[in-house]
Amino acid sequence: GAVVSQHPSWVICKSGTSVKIECRSLDFQATTMFWYRQFPKQSLMLMATSNEGSKATYEQGVEKDKFLINHASLTLSTLTVTSAHPEDSSFYICSASSPSGSSNEQFFGPGTRLTVL
């Protein structure tokens, strides 16, 4: 149990276009989902915390108008990178937590590799 999927697993897009990444909890309801960004050989940087039915809470320095997060249901959150540029190229990872989970455990998706040309 506690499986989180992401789609797509990788995407290449042209500069100036928008890209949507989906994060789904497959076998549990996730009231909270988190979006992280990871640069090569670096740790995960939390971008935002997303609660179902409410606006996402962004970390300091993360542009909320550029990284649009929607958490419309208990099993789906989306991250849209708007007007993507090469510096947005990164590995984006989501995680989900369940209210019934223990010790605040987060379950991670496999990640999405975004390359902006």
Partner 1 sequence: GNSVTQMEGPVTLSEEAFLTINCTYTATGYPSLFWYVQYPGEGLQLLLKATKADDKGSNKGFEATYRKETTSFHLEKGSVQVSDSAVYFCALHGSSNTGKLIFGQGTTLQVKP
Can you give the binding site for partner 1, defined by CB under 8 A?
4, 6, 32, 34, 41-44, 46, 49, 93, 95, 97, 102-111, 113
Q: Which is nearer to partner 1, 9 or 17 (CB)?
A: 9
Cα 95 to the center of its chain, rounded Å: 7
Element (H, E) at 22: strand 19-25
CA distances from 48 to 12, 53, 68 (A): 23, 15, 10
Least distance (Å) from partner 1 to the CB of residue 46?
6
Least distance (Å) from partner 1 to the CB of residue 83?
26
Least distance (Å) from partner 1 to the CB of residue 4?
8
Cα atoms found within 13 Å of the Cα of residue 73, Cβ hemisphere only: 8
CA angle 83, 85, 89 (to 5 degrees): 120
Least distance (Å) from partner 1 to the CB of residue 94?
8
Q: Using an 8 Å Cβ cutoff, are 48 and 34 in contact?
A: yes
Q: Which is nearer to partner 1, 90 or 111 (CB)?
A: 111
Q: Which is nearer to partner 1, 32 or 75 (CB)?
A: 32
Q: Which is nearer to partner 1, 1 or 14 (CB)?
A: 1
Here the tokens at position 88 are 């947005």
